Structure 1
Amino acid sequence: MKSLILYSSLTGNTKKIAQSIYDTMQGEKEIKNISEVTDNNVDYEKYDIIFLGYWVDKGICDKNSKLVFENIHNKKLALFGTMGANTKGNYGINIMDKVKDVFSKDNEIVGSFICQGKIAEGLKVKYEEMLKLHPENEHIREQLKGHEESQSHPDEQDVSEAVRFTKDIMAKVSDM
């Protein structure tokens, strides 16, 4: 089985998960940053499974990922992402569903995984400035609290879950 891992990473979170997926895989495999991908330099047809990694930006995958994802057709796909907010509960599920909608319906999405990652320091500064202007805004306070909580992610538990996700997907695809 030949596998490809494509990922986009702003702060290193998605890259860390992509590397753990790559290290877990057996067989012929490649890993590439989405920034290296152009329309004609990746032959998706030669892969049995493609793992696609993204970081969450405004409730959906980042724009560079989206541009690549929209051009993949007739493939088995496994999706993985990272985001600064806590991924447990409906919020994480809703984001994964939105990302699935980016892909052409001729693809088969065989699984999705999302975990928390560090929030970029620049975003913390932005929220601190916003809080100065709107000290009563509870949403901004929650975002700042989330920034602090995110700084240890992706942690060993997140990596362990990504490894389990990879093993499950590879077993599922080899049974198909």
Structure 2
Amino acid sequence: MKILVAYSSKTGNTRKLAEAIHLVLPDADLCPMASAPNPAQYDLIFMGCWIDKGTADLEAQAFMAKIHDKPVALFFSLGAYPDSAHAAECQETVSGLLASCSVVDRFMCQGAIDPELIEWMKALPKDHGYGPTDSRKKLWKDAETHPDKDDLKAVSNWATGVLAAV
């Protein structure tokens, strides 16, 4: 089975997840989406992105538009807590971008938030939806260490399970 692990990563979070997947699937091709080969030549695609405004980043969206009639295992990182309603909405939104494919499984974990984005949010009024409230400051702090070793182990186990199931 020919496998591609393609990812888009702004801060390195999703790249770390992709590299952890590649450690357990060493025969897979690993590459950033910007330099990924034609996905049509693969039997299974592990596709990783980061979340921007509730959906896949633009580079990932462009790559996803090239994938048709393939099994895809979707993984992503986001600044929100993985058990949040926002994270669940992101899973559905990103999966919907792969409508012509079979999304065989999904994995997400919290990732450190881009420091530039945090600085932008700190400048917002507290009553703004993304303003620097105490709960938002806690989220930023909690996200700093992710993906951590537990996240990397979890994504490795997930990838192994996906491969066994397809």
Q: Same fold (TM over 0.5)?
A: yes
Task: Select which of 121, 127, 151 maps to 1:158.
Answer: 151
Task: Select which of 52, 58, 67 maps to 2:62.
Answer: 67
With normalisation by structure 2, the TM-score equals 0.92
Aligned pair 1:128/2:122, yes or no?
yes
Give the structure 2 partner of residue 84 of structure 1.
Answer: 79
Please report how far the alpha carbon of residue 121 of structure 1 lies from its aligned counterpart in structure 2 after TM superposition.
0.7
Amino acid at match of 1:25: L
Please report how far the alpha carbon of residue 146 of structure 1 lies from its aligned counterpart in structure 2 after TM superposition.
1.4
Report the Cα distance in structure 1 between the residues aligned to 2:148 and 2:164, rounded to whole angstroms: 25
Report the Cα distance in structure 2 between the residues aligned to 1:109 and 1:103, rounded to whole angstroms: 7
Number of matched pairs = 164
With normalisation by structure 1, the TM-score equals 0.87
Write out per-residue CA displacement over residues 37-61 of structure 1, whole angstroms, 9 at most, x where no aligned residue.
Answer: 4xxxx23232111000000000011
1:35-74 matched pairs, under 5 angstroms? 35-37=34-36, 42-74=37-69
Which protein shows a greater Rg? 1
Please report how far the alpha carbon of residue 154 of structure 1 lies from its aligned counterpart in structure 2 after TM superposition.
0.3
Task: Pick closer, same or farther for the CA change 1:137–1:31 going to 2, 3 Å.
Answer: same
Please report how far the alpha carbon of residue 139 of structure 1 lies from its aligned counterpart in structure 2 after TM superposition.
4.8
Report the Cα distance in structure 1 between the residues aligned to 2:13 and 2:38, rounded to whole angstroms: 26
Are the equivalent residues in 1 in contact too, given 2:45–2:71 (CA < 8 A)? yes
Task: Select which of 113, 120, 130 maps to 1:119.
Answer: 113
Are the equivalent residues in 2 in contact too, given 1:118–1:150 (CA < 8 A)? yes
Are the equivalent residues in 2 in contact too, given 1:127–1:143 (CA < 8 A)? no
Report the Cα distance in structure 2 between the residues aligned to 1:138 and 1:15, rounded to whole angstroms: 29
Write out per-residue CA displacement over residues 37-95 of structure 1, whole angstroms, 9 at most, x where no aligned residue.
Answer: 4xxxx232321110000000000110110011012101111000000111114322221
Aligned pair 1:31/2:26, yes or no?
no
What residue ranges of structure 2 are gaps of 5+ in the alignment? none
Report the Cα distance in structure 1 between the residues aligned to 2:28 and 2:49, rounded to whole angstroms: 19
Taking only aligned residues, the RMSD between alpha carbons, in angstroms, comes to 1.6
Please report how far the alpha carbon of residue 6 of structure 1 lies from its aligned counterpart in structure 2 after TM superposition.
0.6
SS at match of 2:28: strand
Identity over aligned pairs, percent: 28
Give the structure 1 partner of residue 160 of structure 2.
Answer: 167
Structure 1 runs, 4 residues or longer, greater than 6 Å off: none
Report the Cα distance in structure 2 between the residues aligned to 1:32 and 1:138, rounded to whole angstroms: 35
Task: Select which of 121, 129, 144 maps to 2:137.
Answer: 144
Report the Cα distance in structure 1 between the residues aligned to 2:90 and 2:140, rounded to whole angstroms: 19
What residue ranges of structure 1 are gaps of 5+ in the alignment? none
